[in-house]
Amino acid sequence: MTNTPTTPGVVPARLDPEILQDNFSDLEPPFDAHEAVVAADRCYFCHDAPCITACPTEIDIPLFIRQIQAGQPEGAARTILNQNILGGMCARVCPTETLCEEACVRELAEGKPVEIGRLQRYATDSLMARGIHPYERVAATGKRVAVVGAGPAGLACAHRLAMHGHDVVLMDARERIGGLNEYGIAAYKTAGDFAQAEVEWLLRIGGIETRTGVRLGRDVSLEDLRADYDAVFLGMGLAGVNALGVEGETREGARDAVDFIAELRQADDLTKLPIGRHVVVIGGGMTAVDAAVQSKLLGAEAVTMVYRRERDRMSASEHELDHAATAGVRIITNAQPVAVHGNGAVREVEFAYTRDGANGLESTGETFRLPADQVFKAIGQTLEGVPEGLTLAHGKIAVTGPGRTGLEGVWAGGDCTAGGEDLTVTAVAQGRDAAEDMHAALSA
């Protein structure tokens, strides 16, 4: 180790390689067979199970838990994957504490839900470890569909279309398939290159041709796609990021949190990834939490997350905020950035305290400064490069029903569409449902 957490500046190798490896290994270790059966035994197998309704992909949770209890983890995996083809990733990344586990009757009764997420992981990992892909394509229909964006929405859509016998061309602007599963999700939630393993497993359905490095709007237009294919699905996510709009935000050392996270996810060797001694993260959502926690895990001495409103307005869940606090991240609320100071590179960030006033958020007039050699901006992402002709709602693509846009033959789903929750599982549900609607239209 060449540096320590207190070495000034933005430097690599603040921690020993073994500590780094440990820090970025599985957040929650997987169940073994015995632990899974014990956890499954806690389920009441409720009739009208509220956990199913709380799951955006409506997995039959009591059924898959009963299958685990009966010693059939692969059957359980099929139950999950029938509804959610990215059930392995969702088992790792879903905020279950605000979805199925929050709704679980044992959570209401005892404050301790059935561990649905970990059971789901046990089932899907068991099946994948045996190299089984339990789906086959039906006879080819001769229809060709373009899927733009290979994140969870595009992948779920492509898989379902391929199952129905359509030929899919899945294109993405990035070099690797997976969207934010590959470039965004915190590294400790998807250890062991799980995102790529899952993509390879999913593509085994056949009938999906992947084209990377292809950007809609640069290399191909929506008009071309509509002319060349029988249908088009747009699952482009949110490629743009919001700026702070304050003086000094382009100083060296200040950058978008999503870019930092993508770099971290693609790093072969974490000991080479530079991190600041004093890191300030601006924002209150999942991206801000992930940037802050991972900065700490890389060895930053002090990491502070600053959010402009009160804690209960943060979009990160209490569970995630607790995780950040446990990792050693300091959280300041009711403060907004005023300026990023420095001499070339960032030295300090100045904030003003805020309060809710008659006309919305207002400054109290009191300011403070935090030392910073690195600043991560995480105040939201935006839709970028929307093709012409699409109707927008709240800055995203407007859809009706299962992803129908206003354009004939064009569907959309995932983060790029209005009304979603910006979660992996919602993107999967929307991609799947759009594929079913496209299939119905293509079969008519």
Residues in contact with ligand FAD by the rule CB under 6 A: 93-94, 148-154, 171-174, 179-180, 184-185, 189, 215-217, 235-237, 239, 258, 261, 286-287, 290, 385, 414-416, 422-425, 427
Please give the Cα distance from 44 to 23 (Å, whole number).
36
CB of 398 to ligand FAD, least distance (A): 15
**Cα–Cα distances in Å, from 107 out to 58, 320, 392?**
19, 18, 39
H/E segment holding residue 282: strand 278-282
Q: Which positions touch ligand SF4 (CB under 6 A)? A: 43-46, 49-51, 61-62, 104-106, 114, 116
Non-local (6+) Cβ contacts of 44 within 8 A are: 105, 106
Residue 180 interacting entry, from ligand SF4, ligand FAD, none, C-beta within 5 to 8 Å by type: ligand FAD
Tokens 């799980």 — which residue?
A: 194
Residue 151 interacting entry, from ligand FAD, ligand SF4, none, C-beta within 5 to 8 Å by type: ligand FAD
User: In 10 A of CB 226, how many CB atoms?
Assistant: 18
Residue 49 interacting entry, from ligand SF4, ligand FAD, none, C-beta within 5 to 8 Å by type: ligand SF4
User: In 10 A of CB 338, how many CB atoms?
Assistant: 18
Nearer to ligand SF4, 27 or 46 (CB): 46
| Burial of residue 355, with CB atoms counted within 10 A of its CB: 0-12 exposed, 13-18 middle, 19 or more buried | exposed
Residue 423 interacting entry, from ligand SF4, ligand FAD, none, C-beta within 5 to 8 Å by type: ligand FAD
CA nearest 36: which of 103, 162, 98, 126?
126
Nearer to ligand FAD, 20 or 258 (CB): 258
Non-local (6+) Cβ contacts of 397 within 8 A are: 234, 383, 386, 390, 391, 405, 412, 416, 417, 418
CB of 80 to ligand SF4, least distance (A): 13
CB of 34 to ligand FAD, least distance (A): 28
H/E segment holding residue 108: helix 105-110
Nearer to ligand SF4, 114 or 429 (CB): 114
Residue 73 interacting entry, from ligand FAD, ligand SF4, none, C-beta within 5 to 8 Å by type: none
3-class DSSP assignment, residue 240 = strand
Residue 246 interacting entry, from ligand SF4, ligand FAD, none, C-beta within 5 to 8 Å by type: none
CB of 293 to ligand FAD, least distance (A): 11
Nearer to ligand SF4, 62 or 431 (CB): 62
- Please give the torsion angle defined by the CA atoms of residues 305, 280, 193 and 155, in that order, rounded to the nearest 10 degrees: 70
Please give the Cα distance from 84 to 202 (Å, whole number).
11
Residue 205 interacting entry, from ligand SF4, ligand FAD, none, C-beta within 5 to 8 Å by type: none
Nearer to ligand FAD, 125 or 422 (CB): 422
Please give the Cα distance from 374 to 122 (Å, whole number).
38
CB of 357 to ligand FAD, least distance (A): 31
Nearer to ligand SF4, 62 or 152 (CB): 62
Residue 254 interacting entry, from ligand SF4, ligand FAD, none, C-beta within 5 to 8 Å by type: none
CB of 368 to ligand FAD, least distance (A): 27
Nearer to ligand FAD, 24 or 69 (CB): 24
